[in-house]
Amino acid sequence: MRPLVARLGVLALIAAVACQAAQAPGPSAGPGTSAVAVSASASPAPSPTVSYPVREGTCAMRVAESFTLANDLTCAGDGMVIVSDNVTVDLGGHTLTGPGMGPQTWPLPQLDTVGVRVGGHTGVTIRNGKTTAFSTGIYFIDMVSSSIESVTTLRNRFGFYIHASQKITVKDSDVEFNIYGLHLQSSDDCVLVNNLLARQTYNSPGGYGLYLYASSRNRITDNTIDSNINWGIWFSDAKENVIFHNNVVGNNPPVSDNTEGSNVWYDKQTKEGNWWADYKGKDADNDSIGDTPYPILGPGGMVDPYPFVAKDGWKTKRRSTIDHYEPAAARPPRGVTI
């Protein structure tokens, strides 16, 4: 019996130690949190997807916090006004409709009614919806590091008006059937990428797809600028902008640039320009890039030295066996003013 009693005593001691270890406090957790043991081999949990509370909107609402719109709005004045930094407005696929585009105010912005109005803030994003029948679809003034993403704006006087702002991104958006399309004025270091700027209507001097006035160092790529009644692209006193990988078709005229020697109509690294539907040059070496420059209209006297001969040519470009743009003797790119 004595050996059995001894063995039972050892087992009891082991159980007590195990119980005490289980009850021992681990690393302390902060208030409102719980400590969870994680094995050394466990993978970190994925970051949760950012979502915003869904709520009903009202016309002329003043927005100070991020949210997702739950309903369409039909308004006699503004759709909404953003009043804080670091706000994301997800329109939730809904439409903001205004009372009409209002009278002509060129060259000043038309601000009688605005779909989404934002001024003097940073870190604002407007996304995923539609604005129509306002004086201006979306108006940014004195903004920094903000964006318009996946927004359709149509049948306004101005589609998007970016004014006195820096580091604005406009991407994946449709700007159609407005008097004036996408307008940048005194705005620098912006990115315009993968937008459709099409079928703006004429009300002189309207009808343009993209207009840059006194705006510098903007990057304009992968846009389709199609069938605007007036200019497809119009630059006035706009300097040091870079424009490449855009499809420009059916505009009258396609482009105008009055800033001599400043804007760059191709990517310097890849030596690739834009597709101009009215380009008449040849592609003798079959590398998808024309053998002669495309002239940029206007007193600036610029060219796109590397025009593509087909829409989206940069997506299917073939390497040339003879590179007529890089002769053995170093020299400036063909037709570029320096």
Q: Which residue carries 């990115």 as its tokens?
A: 191
What local confidence, expressed as pLDDT, does residue 95 receive? Answer: 99
Lowest mean pLDDT among 67-76, 125-134, 144-153, 255-264: 255-264
Neighbours of 147 (CB within 10 A): 21
**Contact 226/249 with Cβ under 8 angstroms?**
yes
Model pLDDT for residues 168-193, shown as the tens digit of each residue: 999 999 999 999 999 999 999 999 99
Separation CA 250–CA 85 (nearest Å): 40
pLDDT: is 197 or 33 the higher one?
A: 197
Percent of the chain predicted with pLDDT > 70:
79
The answer to whether the beta carbons of residues 111 and 132 sit under 8 Å apart is: no
Q: What residues contact 197, with CB distance under 8 A and at least 6 apart? A: 175, 176, 181, 182, 209, 210, 223, 224, 225, 226, 228, 232
pLDDT higher than 60, residue 21? no
- What's the pLDDT at 172? 99
The model's pLDDT over 54-87, given as tens digits with 9 standing for 90+, comes to 999 999 999 999 999 999 999 999 999 999 999 9
Cβ neighbors of 60 (< 8 A, separation 6 or more) are: 75, 77, 78, 79, 80, 81
pTM reported for the whole predicted model: 0.80
d(CA 270, CA 280): 22
Q: How far apart are CA 99 and CA 114, in angstroms?
A: 10
Average pLDDT over residues 97-121: 95
Q: Which two tokens stand for residue 32?
A: 């409102």
Residue with tokens 């053998």: 291
The pair of three-digit structure tokens given for residue 60, joined into one six-digit string:
């002329």
Q: What residue spans define the domains of the chain?
A: 59-315
